[in-house]
Chains A and B, each alone.
Chain A
Amino acid sequence: MLELTLDRRFKGFHLQTHLQIGNEIAALYGPSGAGKSLTLLAIAGLIRPTFGTIRINDRTVFDANTGINLAPHQRRVGLVFQEYALFPHKTVSGNLSFALARDVPTHEADCRVDEMLQLLRLESFAQHFPHQLSGGQRQRVALGRALIGHPEILLLDEPFSALDLAIRETLRQELLEMLADYKGTILLVTHNLQEAYLMASTIAIIDGGKVLQTGHREEVLHHPLTRRVAEHTGAKNILRGVACRDPDGTWDIVWRGHHLRVDDQGSITPGEVEFCIRPEDVRLVWSDRAERRHNLLRGRIVHELGRGLDYLLFVSLVDGSDRGKYDLEIQVRSRLYDLMALHVGKEVWLSLPLDRLHLLAPDE
Chain B
Amino acid sequence: MTHTLLSPLLLSLKIASLATVAALLLGTPIAWMLARSRVPGRAILEAIVVIPLILPPTVTGYYLLLLIGRRGLVGRLLEDGLNIGLIFTWKAAVLASTIAALPLFIKAAQGAFEGVDRRIEDAGRTFKPALIVLCTITLPLAWRGILAGSILAFARAMGEFGITLMIAGSIPGRTQTLALAIYDAVQANQPQAANAMSILATATVLLILVLVGRMTKVKY
A interface footprint on B16-29 (CB within 8 Å = 1, 0 otherwise): 00000000000000
B125 lies within 8 A of A73 (CB)? yes
Query: From residue A231, how far is it (CB to closest CB) to chain B in Å?
Result: 31
B74 part of interface (Cβ distance < 8 Å): no
How many chain A residues touch the partner (CB < 8 A)? Answer: 28
- B127 surroundings in chain A (CB, below 8 A): 73, 98-100, 145, 149
Given contacts A79-B126, A88-B220, A89-B141, contact A98 B120 (CB under 8 A): no
**Main SS class of interface, B:** helix
Interface of A is mostly: loop
The verdict on A85 contacting B129 (CB below 8 Å), with A98-B124, A131-B220 known, is no
Please tell me if A83 contacts chain B, counting CB pairs below 8 Å.
yes
* B residues contacting the other copy or chain, number (CB 8 A): 18
Interface string of B135-177 (1 = CB under 8 A from A): 0110011000000000000000000000000000000000000
Quote the shortest CB–CB distance from B132 to chain A (angstroms).
8
Residues in A neighbouring B128, C-beta threshold 8 A = 73, 98, 102
Chain A 62-84: CB-based contact to B (< 8 A → 1; otherwise 0): 00000000011101011101110
A83 touches B126 (CB 8 A): no
A81/B220 in contact, CB under 8 A: no
A199 contacts chain B at the CB level, 8 A cutoff: no
Shortest Cβ distance from residue A102 to the other chain B in the assembled complex, whole angstroms: 8
CB–CB B140/A41 < 8 A: no
A87 within 8 A of B: yes
Q: Which residues of B contact A46 (CB under 8 A)?
A: 122, 125-126
User: Could you list 17 further interchain pairs (A-B, Cβ under 8 angstroms) beyond the known A78-B126, A102-B128, A149-B127?
Assistant: A41-B122, A44-B122, A45-B126, A46-B125, A71-B129, A72-B125, A73-B128, A77-B126, A81-B119, A85-B120, A85-B122, A86-B120, A87-B124, A98-B127, A98-B128, A98-B136, A146-B126
Task: List the interface of chain A (C-beta within 8 A of B).
Answer: 41, 44-46, 71-73, 75, 77-79, 81-83, 85-89, 98-100, 102, 129, 131, 145-146, 149
- A-B pairs with lowest CB-CB distance, top 5: A85-B123, A85-B119, A72-B125, A99-B127, A72-B126
Would you give 22 A-B contacts (Cβ < 8 Å), ordered by A? A44-B122, A45-B126, A46-B122, A72-B122, A73-B125, A73-B126, A77-B126, A79-B126, A81-B122, A85-B120, A85-B122, A86-B120, A86-B123, A87-B120, A87-B124, A88-B120, A88-B220, A89-B220, A99-B127, A100-B127, A145-B123, A149-B127
